[in-house]
Amino acid sequence: MEGEDAMRFFIENPAPSTLVDVENKVNKFIDLQPKDRNIVLVTSGGTLVPLEKNMVRYIDNFSAGNRGAASAEYFCKSGYAVIFLYRNYGMKPFVRHFEGPWTGIFTKKSVGSSSSWEIKDSLRNVLNNSLENLELMNERNQLLCLPYTTLTEYVWYLRTVAECLKCIRSRALFYLAAAVSDFHIPSQDMSEHKIQSGAGKDKLELTMRPVPKFLRYLVDSWAPEALIISFKLETDENILIDKARTALHRYNHQLVIANLLSTRRRSVAFVTLDSVAWLHLSDEDLRNGVEIEDYIVSRCVQLHKAA
Amino acid sequence: MEGEDAMRFFIENPAPSTLVDVENKVNKFIDLQPKDRNIVLVTSGGTLVPLEKNMVRYIDNFSAGNRGAASAEYFCKSGYAVIFLYRNYGMKPFVRHFEGPWTGIFTKKSVGSSSSWEIKDSLRNVLNNSLENLELMNERNQLLCLPYTTLTEYVWYLRTVAECLKCIRSRALFYLAAAVSDFHIPSQDMSEHKIQSGAGKDKLELTMRPVPKFLRYLVDSWAPEALIISFKLETDENILIDKARTALHRYNHQLVIANLLSTRRRSVAFVTLDSVAWLHLSDEDLRNGVEIEDYIVSRCVQLHKAA
């Protein structure tokens, strides 16, 4: 059962018009899965919170979507079917290796008196591999990418995907790597038009309200039989583990993966109610270009098997 | 002379470490220009305002950077040297036609039993043209792209570029299409770490302070002899022209190009102290894929010649 706060959120922030399409895609994707293939929902990127109804300004959460995109890739390689709920224009699995200015992929080649721009020889193999893998995952129905932009879209999509995944019960894994805003401006408090600055205005006061704790409803009623893994990102290491524990107590799910902004690429902690296990990349791992998501996903897959 | 508010801003928000490099690049670029070539600074995209010193959350301004990137391209075609101060990862002139997922550029081609991913035949010409134009502009020293992310970077870069352009006096044009934040959180008020939500916290109050009106200092002291054109974007058409006029009165520059968020691709108003001239794309223009920036830039170039 959802609480009053959640029900109010869904009333005040109505479903995006794209929701039916998302639901159809997810149901079709689930239908296509072999019965012995597990499905993971990987969320990725930050949610955008508008400050005005006719949006000019917004609050955003820092997240390039590296962790989510890399993890989705390793889940695919582990044989999972992956529903990848990602921030539009953010990183995507397999092709994430090419983010940055795409113009760098090309170089000018002269043929006789004419010239044309071609894929750089040095990138050809990586490009071929990336696009091949992506195509292969599509052919095997192992990857469904769903873009979102705003907090409202994210929450509606999350609930819908969870409801669709109910039918596969404990074969579903939720890997919630997206940076979801804790606060927003409820639509009834939101300015219709661009907030004016104007001469003499010496401050702008924004009152933001907490976003309902949807993780609670995910655990209790949207996906009661699934394994649910959330992330906790902090900048202050003194509070990191406590915050992760508090989340476990509050939402009653199985695992929090905790990390600090500054060291998130090489250290994470797996936090349960009665244990903290740190995972650090070794110097050798770092030299060899090993990604921490490779280890994180392995451990999550083991945990899912054991659950 | 800068006001106290501006001086305080530069003290409280120290210069980014990249500033020296930017200054060197700009000076070198100016040195390379023929004496009869005008130089325009085109600013583009939105400025990011952090909410925490160890930034996890930030306020951003909606702007894909279409207008700036398109305008920079038309200024290049008009023979200007263009300094393009743009939001990192945003749209860029010439290659802007390919924004969106770059993977769409490629298609799989089979050669005998093997296959590889190649540039789509249908895109080859456009891609060649775009990259050729970009290279040509670089060879002619007609385009210098400078990325920024935060408000602080933007303001420091703007002042530096303006100071460098002082030597060419009225041959400089400022075309300020970036969506610059009106409010920010001064560093002494900023939380060191990620702002905590926590149970029972029923709201988050953010007090933002106005950003000094740097346009005034640009007009009065950083670039007193240049032609300065600013943009005004609103969502409420009832206040648009008044807001543009107020800016002209307040900053004493030559032209405001005013536009509404919803119609900005087909209508803009050129607002001076004693005139409002609307420019609308015709149905035929729209059918032919004419961009409004083509007309906007033509008119600005004429104005610069006449000044």
Q: What ipTM describes this predicted complex? A: 0.80
User: Considering the domain boundaries, does residue B110 fall inside one?
Assistant: no
pLDDT at B289: 93
B69 and chain A: CB distance < 8 Å anywhere? no
Q: Which of B108, B210, B261 sits opposite A56 (nearest CB)?
A: B261
Cβ-defined contact of B202 to A210 (cutoff 8 Å): yes
Give the number of beta-carbon pairs within 8 Å between A and B.
154
Instruction: Judge: A199–B250 Cβ closer than 8 Å, yes or no.
Output: yes
- Is the CB of A127 inside 8 Å of chain B's CB atoms? yes
- Those of residues 149-178 in A touching chain B at CB distance below 8 A are none
For A130-152, b/e burial (b = at least 16 CB within 10 A) is bbebbeebeeebbbbbbbbbbbb
Q: Is the dihedral of CA A148, A149, A155, A156 positive or negative?
A: negative
Alpha-carbon distance values, B158 to A181, B88, B173 (Å): 32, 15, 13
Rounded CA-CA distance A63/A54 in Å is 24
For residues B146 and B241, what is the distance between their CA atoms, to the nearest angstrom? 31
| Kind of pairing between the strands at A57-61 and A143-148 | unpaired
In chain A, residues with a C-beta closer than 8 Å to the C-beta of B117 are 119, 127-128, 131-132
For chain B, report the end-to-end CA distance as a whole number of angstroms.
24
Domain assignment of residue B199, yes or no: no
- Identity of the residue numbered B222: W
Q: Which of A117, A209, A234 sits opposite B131 (nearest CB)?
A: A117
Q: Does any CB of chain B come closer than 8 Å to the CB of residue A116? A: yes
Confirm whether A109 is domain-assigned: no
Check: CB of residue A216 under 8 Å from CB of residue A250. yes
CA gap A98, A89 in Å, rounded: 13
Asked if residue B76 belongs to a domain, the reply is yes
- Residue type present at position B101: P
Domain count, chain A: 1
Residue B259 forms part of a structural domain: yes
* CA dihedral sign of residues A213, A214, A216, A217: positive
Contacts of A49 (CB under 8 A, 6+ apart): A58, A59, A60, A150, A151, A181, A183, A184, A185, A208
In A221-280, the residues whose Cβ lies within 8 Å of chain B are 233-236, 246, 250, 261-262
Of B101, B116, B235, the CB nearest to A56: B235
Q: Is B205 on the interface with A (CB under 8 A)?
A: yes
In a domain, B228, yes or no: yes
User: What's the rounded Cα separation, in Å, for the pair B6 and B214?
Assistant: 7
Amino acid at A215: L
**pLDDT per residue rounded down to tens, chain A (307 residues):** 688 999 999 999 999 999 999 999 999 999 999 999 999 999 999 999 998 887 778 999 878 899 999 999 999 999 999 999 999 988 999 988 876 677 888 999 988 888 889 999 988 998 999 999 999 999 999 999 999 999 999 999 999 999 999 999 999 999 999 999 999 988 778 877 777 765 567 888 888 899 999 999 999 999 999 999 999 999 999 999 999 999 999 999 999 999 998 999 999 999 999 999 999 999 999 999 999 999 999 999 999 999 8
Nearest to B85 by CA among B31, B46, B139, B27: B46
Rounded Cα distance between A115 and A133, Å, is 31
Q: Which residue has the tokens 């030597």?
A: B167
Q: Give the strand pairing for B172-176 and B227-234.
A: parallel
**Residue among A281, A285, A279 at smallest CA distance from A302:** A279
Residue type present at position A154: Y
Q: Which of A201, A207, A262 sits opposite B203 (nearest CB)?
A: A207
Chain A positions in Cβ-Cβ contact with residue B95 (cut-off 8 Å) = 101, 103
Q: Does the beta carbon of B36 lie under 8 angstroms from any beta carbon of chain A?
A: no
DSSP annotation of B218: I
Contacts of A199 in chain B (CB under 8 A): 246, 250
With beta carbons less than 8 A apart as the criterion, state whether A194 and A56 touch.
Answer: yes
A65 CB neighbours in chain B (<8 A) are none
pLDDT 10s digits, B141-194? 999 999 999 999 999 999 999 999 999 999 999 999 999 999 998 877 887 777
**CB burial string A19-46: b at 16+ within 10 A, e below:** eeebbebbeebbeebeeeebbbbbbbbb
Query: How far apart are alpha carbons A142 and B136 in whole angstroms?
Result: 44
Q: What is the pLDDT of residue A255?
A: 97
**Beta-carbon-side half-sphere exposure of residue A302 (alpha carbons within 13 Å):** 6
**Strand B255-260 relative to strand B267-272, pairing:** antiparallel
Q: Quick check: B304 and B227 in contact, CB under 8 A?
A: yes
Distance from the A54 Cα atom to the nearest Cα atom in chain B, whole angstroms: 7
Question: For residues A205 and B209, is the Cβ–Cβ distance under 8 A?
Answer: no
Paired residues of A43 in beta bridges: A85, A176
The pLDDT of residue B112: 81
- Rg over alpha carbons for chain A, rounded to the nearest Å, is 21
The total of other beta-carbon atoms located within 10 Å of residue A112's CB is 5
Mutation to test the B interface, candidates A111, A131, A184, most B Cβ within 10 Å: A131
Contact at CB, A119 and B124, closer than 8 angstroms: no
Q: Among positive and negative, which fits the CA dihedral A4, A2, A303, A82?
A: negative
- The amino acid sitting at B238 is N
State which amino acid sits at residue B111.
V
Given this model, what pLDDT does residue B197 score?
64
- B51 contacts chain A (CB < 8 A): yes
pLDDT, averaged per 10 consecutive residues of chain B (307 residues), comes to: 88 94 98 97 95 83 90 98 95 84 86 86 91 94 97 97 97 97 85 68 85 95 97 93 96 96 95 96 95 98 94
Which residues are registered as beta bridge partners of A258?
A232, A269
Residue A269, amino acid: A
Q: What pLDDT score does B297 carry?
A: 98
Task: Please tell me the distance from the alpha carbon of residue B180 to that of residue B49, in angstroms, as a whole number.
Answer: 10
Say yes or no: B220 contacts chain A, CB-CB below 8 A. no
B86 - beta bridge partners? Answer: B44, B147
| B132 burial type by CB count under 10 A (0-12 exposed, 13-18 middle, 19+ buried) | middle
| Sign, Cα dihedral of B211, B213, B217, B223 | positive
> Would you call A210 and B194 a contact, using CB atoms and an 8 Å cutoff?
no
Using N-to-C axis directions, what is the helix angle for B19-31 and B151-165, rounded to 10°? 30
Tokens of A282: 């070794």
Closest partner CB to A62 (pick from B55, B98, B246):
B55
What is the predicted pLDDT for the residue at B276?
A: 97
Distance between CA atoms of A69 and B36, rounded to whole angstroms?
50
**B136 touches A at CB < 8 Å:** no
Q: Which amino acid is at A61?
A: N
**In this predicted model, what pLDDT tens digit does every residue of A215-245 receive, in sequence order?**
999 999 999 999 999 999 999 999 999 999 9
Distance (Å, rounded) from C-alpha B281 to C-alpha B284? 8
Domain that holds residue A81: 4-97+118-193+204-306
Q: Convert the pLDDT of each residue in A111-160 to its tens digit.
A: 888 888 999 998 899 899 999 999 999 999 999 999 999 999 999 999 99
In a domain, A165, yes or no: yes
Please report, for the domain that includes residue B69, its CATH number. Answer: 3.40.50.10300
A8–chain B Cβ distance below 8 A for any pair: no
Whether residue A146 contacts residue A164, with contact meaning beta carbons closer than 8 Å, is answered with no
Classify each residue of A208-238 as buried b or exposed e, where b means 16 or more C-beta atoms within 10 Å of its C-beta.
bbbbbbbbbbbbeebbeebbbbbbbbbbeee
Three-class SS string for chain A?
A: CCCHHHHHHHHHCCCCCCHHHHHHHHHHHHHCCCCCCCEEEEEECECEEECECCCCEEEEECCCCHHHHHHHHHHHHCCCEEEEEEECCCCCCCHHHHCCCHHHHEEEEEECCEEEEEECHHHHHHHHHHHHHHHHHHHCCCEEEEEECEHHHHHHHHHHHHHHHHHHHHHEEEEECCECCCEECCHHHCECCCCCCCCCCCCEEEEEEECCCHHHHHHHHHCCCCEEEEEEEECCCCCHHHHHHHHHHHHCCCEEEEEEHHHCCCEEEEEECCEEEEEECCHHHHHCCCCHHHHHHHHHHHHHHHC
| A40/chain B closest Cα distance in angstroms | 24
Any domain includes B105: no
Q: Is A136 on the interface with B (CB under 8 A)?
A: no
A5 touches chain B (CB under 8 A): no
CA distances from A221 to A11, A228, A232 (A): 18, 12, 22
